[in-house]
Amino acid sequence: MDYSAIKINERRLRRDLEDLGRFGEEPDGGILRPALSDADLKAREWFKGRMREAGLSVREDAVANIIGRLDPPSGAEGLPCIATGSHSDAVLHGGKYDGAAGLCCGLEAIRAIQRSGLPIHCPLELIVFTDEEGGHYAGTFGSRAMFDLLVEGEIYKSRGAGSPFLAQSLERMGKDPAQYARAVRSPSEFRAFLELHIEQGPVLDSLGIPVGVVEGIVAIDRHLIEVKGKAGHAGTTPMRLRDDALVKAAGIITAVNRAVRALGNEIVGTIGEMKVYPGAFNIIPGRVEMTLDLRSMKKPLLKKARGKIREILRSVPGARLTTALSKDGSRMDRRIMELIEESCRRRGISWKRMSSGAGHDAMTFPAQGIPTGMIFIPCGEGKSHCPEESIRWEDAATGAQILADTIVRIAFSAGMKSTLRKTFAR
């Protein structure tokens, strides 16, 4: 097989990344592009155009996942596809490459495969998943909806007063939210799923290694902690008569942090969001809502942490914890990891096996029995989820090359079987 025919065009890839980064761009170089916001909708429309220019057919499903597809000229009805993809939405004041790198490198990889003329008979898909960051409620929404994994009534839940829920955003796009189940697909439609993503950590950048071969993705528990107190006048209520929800919440935050640290360094816990109600300088806080994000490669550790945290809350009158979502960690497919490594070896590219402390849509696929792999590329000093997020264009091109080569290797690998048929149109 002549893999040298698969040529990534770094200049075109760089232009796509720069253009995508303009949607929701902020003066400090970060982006404000929450899922299905105006900025995200514009980014999606632009990306659909780029997919069409590359010859992919483009459709949008009932929950706004965008599915670009390239069928070989001989047609591929009923043949499972090899899919790649990621997300266009970003965290608040986030970086330009989280999600975007996987979309643009995925598109460039498919272009390069198509133009290579290599005889693979296999449909290829490039998917833009809706709301990976959980801007509405819980993350990896689009991929979970695709496999019927939403929590009861999820599209009508929001993360708190003022933020939209998905049904509203879908309606705003002219979709009927009640039809969300039409997005469900059978796992048998997929032969494999591969996601390229920035590492969002410092390992590859600090070691100067261009490719990370992901072995597994963390398990994630997302809890909501509510603390009730008594609102009152900030001037006339003596300190000894107060039931201040925020003071109680402050005690919980430090106790939770201490408890998670005491469980060792294979678990992380973050209280990243807090809302104080009613929320005025002259009212004693009557209620506080906080989000607690717990992650570990070892699911039993999350359970242990939840137990410790429930104990802490039992000692605080008016405090309670509800679990918004619990995601199992996922193991990547050994055969796909080996094919990614083979692609690196053949191109003389160094790589490192590693796990992902970040969640991704790729974590949804393994439990569906779909062989799944992830390719990491370095990001500057590991910074992510902040305006300083950066990549080197050559790393994006290397990642796209390894992605393209691996897709072709999967298409030919007996284990995930494929048949040699017509070549792609040039």
Residues found near Mn ion in the complex (CB under 5 A) = 98-99
* Contact range with ligand HGY by CB under 6 A, out of 132-140, 170-178, 244-252, 336-344: 132-140
Rounded Cα distance, 164 and 175, in Å: 15
Task: Tell the smallest beta-carbon distance from residue 139 to ligand HGY (Å).
Answer: 5
Give the nearer residue to ligand HGY in terms of CB position, either 284 or 358.
Answer: 358
Establish whether the linkage from the previous residue to 278 is cis, with ω within 30° of 0: yes
Site string for ligand HGY, 357-376 (x = CB under 6 A): -xx-----------------
Angle between the 38-53 and 100-116 helix axes, to the nearest 10 degrees? 10
Which two three-digit tokens encode residue 422?
Answer: 């017509």
Is residue 157 a contact partner of residue 165, using CB atoms and an 8 Å limit?
Answer: yes
Shortest approach of Mn ion to residue 2 CB, angstroms? 34
Q: Which does 371 bind (CB under 5 to 8 A by kind): Mn ion, ligand HGY, none?
A: none
> Which positions from 179 through 238 interact with ligand HGY, judged by CB under 6 A?
none
Nearer residue to ligand HGY within complex by CB, 132 or 205: 132
Residue with tokens 């829920």: 165
Tokens of 190: 């997929």
Amino acid residing at 388: E
Of 69 and 295, the one with the shorter C-beta distance to ligand HGY is 295
| Identity of the residue, 40 or 98, whose beta carbon is nearer to Mn ion in the bound complex | 98
Does residue number 71 form part of the binding site for ligand HGY (CB under 6 A)? no
CB 275 within 8 A of CB 306: no
Span interacting with ligand HGY, options 108-116, 131-139, 233-241, 388-396, rule CB under 6 A: 131-139
Q: Is 131 in the site for ligand HGY (CB under 6 A)?
A: no
Distances, alpha carbon 144 to alpha carbons 63, 103, 244, in Å = 10, 18, 39
Q: Which does 99 bind (CB under 5 to 8 A by kind): Mn ion, ligand HGY, none?
A: Mn ion
Using rule CB under 6 A, residue 329 touches ligand HGY: no
How much of the chain is helix, strand and coil, in % rounded to 5? 40, 25, 40
Using CB under 6 A, which of 34, 139, 229, 285 touches ligand HGY?
Answer: 139
**What's the CA gap between 243 and 231, in Å, rounded?**
8
Buried b (16+ CB within 10 A) or exposed e, 201-236: beebbeeebbbbbbbbbbbbbbbbbbbbbebbeeee
Minimum gap (Å) between residue 85 Cβ and Mn ion:
11
User: Which residues make up the interface to ligand HGY (CB under 6 A)?
Assistant: 132-133, 139, 358-359
